[in-house]
Structure 1
Amino acid sequence: MTNIKTSILILTDPDIPETSRRDGEQLERSKEGTIKEGRQVERKRKHESDTGKYNDDDNLENYKKKTKTTREGSSARPDDTKEAQETTLSPGDFIFHAVLGEGNFGKVLLASNRRTKKTVAVKIMAKKILLDGGRDSTLTERRVLELAAGCPFLVKGYGTFQTTSNLYFVMEHLGGGDLDTFLRRHKRMEMNIIIFFMAELVCGLEYLHKNGVIHRDLKPANILLDAVGHLKISDFGLALEGMFGKKTAREYAGTSGYIAPEMEKGRRYNAGVDWWALGIILERMSKRAIHRRDPCAANPMLPDTLNHPECLVSDILATLLWKRPSRRLRAAASIRSHLFFQSIDWKELEAGMVDPPFTSSTVSTPRDRNM
């Protein structure tokens, strides 16, 4: 695969017109010229400092501030890697390999850092979206990506930077694809896999809600798998911040099929919309559950039979899909204690001590591979 040496504007992508590529080349040459001029000024400063012109420390610091204009602005989390703390970033720091996805606000590309060789995902958005009403959502996404560093079930950001035309979000890359693709590929699933996926999603949602964030677009396409099989919630472009206590919102957002009834009807809503979406996701996964027998009908007089996960799917679905948001939220507050999750050790799960109950070779049955 050809390595891309400059910005997204000159990627060898068929949907990028030739004029945009030439503009990108001109922008890159202009940037390189600015950097070269900055280096020349720095050498001149060093020479003058050696000759005594800048012996005064205060004057030297002021001079440094004036000449610190050779690269594009950027920002990163204080707790990020040493690289993110000590250096600014630019498109030239990355090799872009392929387009991972596209949306209304831009593209997500697979990239690798030239110096560290680390593989990342880079979301690139045109700055013109700020003029089209996308400023607030862009800033929200940036803040939530930073917040996500505290939860292993959310995709975290490594840093942000900008060029004259684009905004760049550098995020962790997960090699397992998205849950939507996973479900399309695997028509049948063991119930323990469904329970595991649901438990990790519960942890991710609880962390967001605890910090006053509503995702508002939870769906399989926005849930990613790492190379091992753990899930992480991604794409916070429609997230809403500051949703603490009884605060509600009214703006319509999300994807058809996953939107809660209260939002569909134009009523005020809260974090309950995320739990509704989780219920829809469980409903989709449960249709793929492998039923080797019907434990609910086998012997309904046995207490253990009624506690079988396959019997409890409908009960937890009813819990998550209450049409009344207040009842849905009350049920979600104690969701960890639901018998559907009786096999989950929540402390070990959150500590990363629980391995996914599957490998790529055990998810599908032989019949699935021929479908």
Structure 2
Amino acid sequence: MLIATNAALVASNSALHASNSALHASNLALRACDPDAGVQTVIPALSRTPSAGIPAPTIFHTGQPRVQVQSSRIRDLNLHLNQNAAVEAWQAGVPRVESPPVSYEPEPIVLHDGRVTYIKTGFLGEGGFGEVLLARAVPNSENQDLSFPTDVAIKRFPKRRLRHVKYTFEAACLEMDLMKQATEKQLRFVVHLLSTFQDEENVYLVMPAYGRDLFHYLRRGERRMPMNEIRLYAAQMILALEEIHSLGVVHRDIKPENVFFDRHGYLVFGDFSIAGYPDGETFEQGKLYDFSGTPCRYAPEQLGPDREVKGYNYKIDIFNVGSMILEMFIGKGDSYFQESKRDEGEKEILNKDIWPDCQIFVENKAARDLITGMLERDPEKRLTIPEIKAHRFFRKM
């Protein structure tokens, strides 16, 4: 049963977890947060506010002087108030550094947050909210931090978009907050936040870089996954989903491109840019009503004509994980629900009979039962996380 899966994973890797805990304890421990006082939760290795003997954050650039960080407090943001004022309040809690003068000479991008230098080594991607850089992290000689990874990903949010595009600002705030919580709670299957800082033009979020995502792993074309491998990754997906929902949010964009392998082979879920807090007395009762997600990755209740009235809840994430488990059995790396032209993908989600493909590609009867239960079109009948963890498919773990 998957109820014991988390314990089994930890038990089999106790040395690994002990090491990770020791590495993170000094660098990623959070101070207590006082929401009523409007004080930002601070992670010493995260916001990098300088202390005595530690240089203020700056961007390394020839002839560019260093400047002190402006001390301030981040206030409880009301995202429905004046957007510029909210952006300024949010930025006030992020260490500020000076931008280098504009240069048209080709030179490497080098950033500094006060304790760690980041040297850009690549470009990972770009979306509606910003872009993600690959960088090598070099801690200062006086601040050697053995727990800080060498390879990091830096999400860069242009301030001009934060000031003028509301959803970009909300996405940046939410993603930073969720990764902070994941770091504070030491969640095993969710991306952690390593540092935050800013300059005149951008706000930066630093997180570990991962060598491979599930999308490219499934598309490698070498072979179909063996049953035990699928079972292991499916178990980790369910545990990741449980951790995400423990933060009170619905991910809404679960897909292989947002699932990464860490250096120990564990799956880690990332990209919370369109996550949402459901509105309700409890998380289970809470509803979301806006249309967010990736084409071919919606749950049926997101596509119905009464979505704006009835809404949808956390079970859309369960539907998406069920799709990925089926895709692991098929082994091609493509989204199970396809769109050959406009609206075709939505029609498949609403109408496609998955049973024939389950019979062809999913030889294990328990796995077929699990997948059909997770892909149940009626969210009221769809399996819950406790039911999935107790499912017979995971009894051999």
Superposed pair shares fold, TM > 0.5: yes
**SS state at 1:327 partner:** coil
**Larger CA Rg, structure 1 vs 2:** 1
Structural mapping, 1:1-371, within 5 Å: 32-33=64-65, 35=67, 72=96, 89=113, 93-115=117-139, 116=144, 118-130=150-162, 131-133=164-166, 134-149=168-183, 150-175=186-211, 177-186=212-221, 187-241=223-277, 244-265=283-304, 267=307, 268-288=311-331, 310-328=364-382, 330-344=383-397
Give distance in 1, aligned partners of 2:315 and 2:127. 25
Cα distance change, pair 199–225 in 1 and its aligned pair in 2 (3 A): same
Amino acid at match of 2:216: T
- The separation in 1 between residues aligned to 2:115 and 2:320, in whole angstroms, is 36
Q: Contact between 1:124 and 1:168, CA under 8 Å: does it hold in 2?
A: yes
Tell me how far 1:226 sits from its aligned partner.
1.7
Deviation at 1:172, TM superposition (A): 1.5
The 3 A distance-change label for structure 1 pair 30 and 213 is: farther
**Are 1:191 and 1:309, in contact at CA under 8 Å, matched by a contact in 2?**
no
Residue 100 of structure 1: CA displacement? 2.0
Whole-Å separation in 2 of the counterparts to 1:198 and 1:342: 13
CA RMSD, aligned part only? Answer: 2.8
Give per-residue Cα distances to partners, 1:126-172, cap 9 Å, x unaligned: 11222112111110000111122221111111121111111100102
CA distance in 2, matches of 1:211, 1:152: 13
Q: Distance in 2 between matches of 1:73 and 1:242?
A: 36
Cα deviations by residue, 1:336-370 (Å, 9 ceiling, x for unpaired): 110111122xxxxxxxxxxxxxxxxxxxxxxxxxx
**Equivalent position amino acid for 1:248 in 2:** K
The aligned counterpart of 1:347 is: none
Q: Deviations over 1:167-223 (max 9, x none)?
A: 100102222x11000000044110111111110010010111122111000000000
Q: How many residues get paired? A: 252
Aligned-partner residue type, residue 313 of structure 2: N
CA distance in 1, matches of 2:329, 2:201: 45
2:386 aligned partner, one-letter code: A
Distance, in Å, in 2 between the alignment partners of 1:155 and 1:263 is 26
1:319–1:331 contact (8 Å) kept in structure 2 = no
Amino acid at match of 1:205: L
2:231 aligned partner, one-letter code: I
Q: Contact (CA 8 Å) 1:100, 1:110: kept in 2 or not? A: yes
Q: Does the 8 Å contact 1:90/1:162 carry over to 2?
A: no
C-alpha distance in 2 between matches for 1:34 and 1:156: 28
Contact 2:278 2:288 in 1 (8 A): no
SS for the counterpart of 2:235 is helix
| Relative contact order, higher structure (CA 8 A, sep 6+) | 2
Partner Cα distance (2:62, 2:201) in 1: 13
Match of 1:24 in 2: none
Identity of aligned residues (%): 30
TM normalised by structure 1 equals 0.62
- 1:102 deviates by 2.3
SS at match of 2:96: coil
* Gaps in structure 2 of 5+ consecutive residues: 1-58, 70-94, 99-111, 333-361
Task: State the distance in 1 between where 2:366 and 2:61 align.
Answer: 62
The TM-score with structure 2 as length reference comes to: 0.58
- Name the CA shift for 1:113/1:285 in 2 (closer, same or farther; >3 Å): same
| Alpha-carbon distance, 1:309 to partner | 7.4
Q: Is the 8 A contact 1:286 1:313 kept in 2?
A: no
Residue 321 (structure 1) shift: 0.7
* CA offsets 1:272-322 (integer angstroms, 9 cap, x no match): 110010011111111139xxxxxxxxxxxxxxxxxx972222211111011
Change (3 A) 1:29 1:113: closer
DSSP 3-state at the match of 2:126: strand
Q: Which amino acid aligns with 1:263?
A: Q
